[in-house]
Amino acid sequence: MSGAGQRCASCGSANIVQDELYAEQQQVCADCGSVESAVVLAQDPAGGSDVSYRRTTAVAKQLCANLIKGLERVKEIGRLLRVRSEIEELASKYFKQAYEHEDFIRVSLEKKEVLAGCCVLVSCRQLNWPITMGTISCLLSADQALVGAVHQQMVKSLDIQAPTTNITDIMEGHCQEYKLSPSQVREEFAEDSKALTKQAMALVELAADSWIVTGRRPLPIMMSAVYLAWQSLNPNKDRLKLSLDKFCNIAKVQKHNPASKRISELKEVLCKLGKEIPWIRERLTHDNIIQHVGDILQHRYALLRRALRAHEVSLQADSQITCGNPSAGEKPPSQSSDCVDQTPDASMEQQCSNEEREPQVGDGDETPVPEESDSHSQDQAPDWRKRVLFAPPCVNRPKRKRAERPELIVTGDEEISDSEIDSYIRTPQEAQIFALSQKMFASSDSGKS
């Protein structure tokens, strides 16, 4: 077999043939016998050209064990948040890229776990899914400052355009949708947009501190906050008797049905905090709490600490009473008699200064859980929902378990009822149509033959 188009480098002859020497193939000049090309195994390293280990077909590259655990953690977080499948896939893609990046190769396992949550957070923000950094921090039981630092580093290293959301800007834009200017509504219904935004923003922050926003869509919560803020800024008779439906009609916005439930939940939290204000002597209900919203929002952090502390003390007193020592547990009065004759501002300032000197029991979203050493008290309150003042909605309103349907076992030997037999029998009209169709088929077959 000659090589077409080739000439010998020694004699210039075109008579080049392919010679097989055992397992080697080489081209030889038939005239002078010189070897033109050959595979020399001894001279090439590793039996041929240099090939990297991961490109060989003998061994497939396997993923790192920590990378596999991180991808599983990303899926767990996505399923806890019940995100869409495309968000989960995008988060897994970002985690693979960040895990192999030089900025995250030599970091601790804690930061790698936080990195998984940050990948989910970035994916949710890019695909417009309402998840906050505080939610990710709670799921990972990690410091929010650490989550923020890892998030910034990941966005910078991977050059990701992650949209940032500011609740203040969102509330300003949302409040501007309500047509409540003096030129659009009557004077008793008119309200300044800036004052409405500030009051509604404080209510949203209070809802976040009391777990109301957890797992909820933002629009109904913002609508309920705007409605309560609008009523509390000028609590006259015209505004107080106006329902949410009529308020939406006046403001020319579309009502969100869950907003009614969020209003009830916000009023419940306001009532719990309003009980800790010493100058309020009346019994607070959902009907009269609107008049005190301004004072509650002004001192909400101090009232949150007082309410959590009073709830813990009452639980300890109840546990001591159930153990047979009723004299040891005495609930402290929620209203101080020393502050009755003082002005509201002076009394609250004095109580806030006293609370700063006292040890803090709970602050923000942290809900204190009283320690119970005896088993008897645990039997009395097995559900921890009764031991906390504020809890997430999934705890206060757990989903009902779906009743499982009994499995149908069909063997084919079941008895057939008379009604089923009648349904199988043709009617006289159906029998006549069937007979006519048979005659037509028989005549057509005879004509063809």
Across residues 377-400, what is the average pLDDT?
63
Residue 214 in this model has a pLDDT that exceeds 50:
yes
- Where exactly are the structural domains of the chain? 1-51, 65-158, 167-298, 301-330+342-393
Q: What is the CATH number of domain 167-298?
A: 1.10.472
For residues 114-124, one letter each, b for 16 or more C-beta atoms within 10 angstroms of the residue's C-beta and e for the rest, the string is bbbbbbbbbbb
Helix/strand/coil for 43: coil
Beta bridge partners of 20: 25
The answer for residues whose C-beta is within 8 angstroms of residue 268's C-beta and 6 or more apart is 286
Q: Which of 34-38, 59-63, 320-324 has the highest mean pLDDT?
A: 320-324
pLDDT 10s digits, 347-362:
444 444 444 333 333 3
Residue 247 CB-density burial (10 A; 0-12 exposed, 13-18 middle, 19+ buried): buried
Mean pLDDT throughout 188-207?
Answer: 91
In whole angstroms, give the CA distance from residue 60 to residue 319. Answer: 62
The mean per-residue pLDDT over the stretch 209-220 comes to 84
pLDDT classification of 266: cutoffs 50, 70, 90: very high
Of 243, 396, 375, 286, which is closest to residue 322 (Cα–Cα)? 375
Give 53 or 386, the one with higher predicted confidence: 386
What is the pLDDT, as a whole number, of residue 335? 40
- Give mean pLDDT, residues 292-316: 89
User: Other C-beta atoms within 10 Å of 5: how many?
Assistant: 7
Give the mean pLDDT of 247-269.
92
Check pLDDT > 70 for residue 288. yes
Give the lowest-confidence range in 86-95, 139-148, 150-159, 415-424.
415-424
Tens of pLDDT, residue by residue over 143-194, are 888 988 999 889 888 888 877 666 777 788 888 889 998 888 988 899 998 9
Residues 6+ apart with CB under 8 A from 33: none
What's the pTM value of the predicted model, to 2 decimals? 0.50
Share of the chain above pLDDT 90, in %: 22
Q: How far apart are CA 360 and CA 75, in angstroms?
A: 37
Three-class DSSP category at 268: helix
Higher pLDDT, residue 422 or 188 = 188
Distance CA 336, CA 348 (A): 11
3-state secondary structure of 401: coil
Measuring CA to CA, which residue among 275, 272, 117, 300 is closest to residue 208?
300
The mean pLDDT value for 375-391 works out to 56
Same topology for domains 65-158 and 167-298, yes or no?
yes
| Full DSSP string of 287-349 | TTSGGGHHHHHHTHHHHHHHHHHHHHHHHHHHHHHHTT-TTT--PPPSS-GGGSSS-HHHHHH
**Mean of the per-residue pLDDT values of the chain:** 76
388 - beta bridge partners?
none
Band of pLDDT at residue 89, cut at 50, 70 and 90: very high
Residues 47-60, mean pLDDT to the nearest whole number: 54
Q: What is the CATH number of domain 65-158?
A: 1.10.472.10
Distance from C-alpha of 345 to C-alpha of 360, rounded to nearest angstrom: 22
Beta-sheet strand order (sheet of 24-29): 16-21, 24-29, 35-38
Indicate whether 310 pLDDT > 80. Answer: yes
Which of 13-17, 110-114, 249-253, 348-352 has the least mean pLDDT? 348-352
Residues 117 and 99: their CA atoms lie apart, in Å, by 13
Length of the chain equals 449
- One-letter amino acid of 395: V
C-alpha 286/C-alpha 291 separation (Å) is: 10
Is 298 within 8 Å of 263 (Cβ atoms)? no
- pLDDT confidence of 321, banded at 50, 70, 90? confident
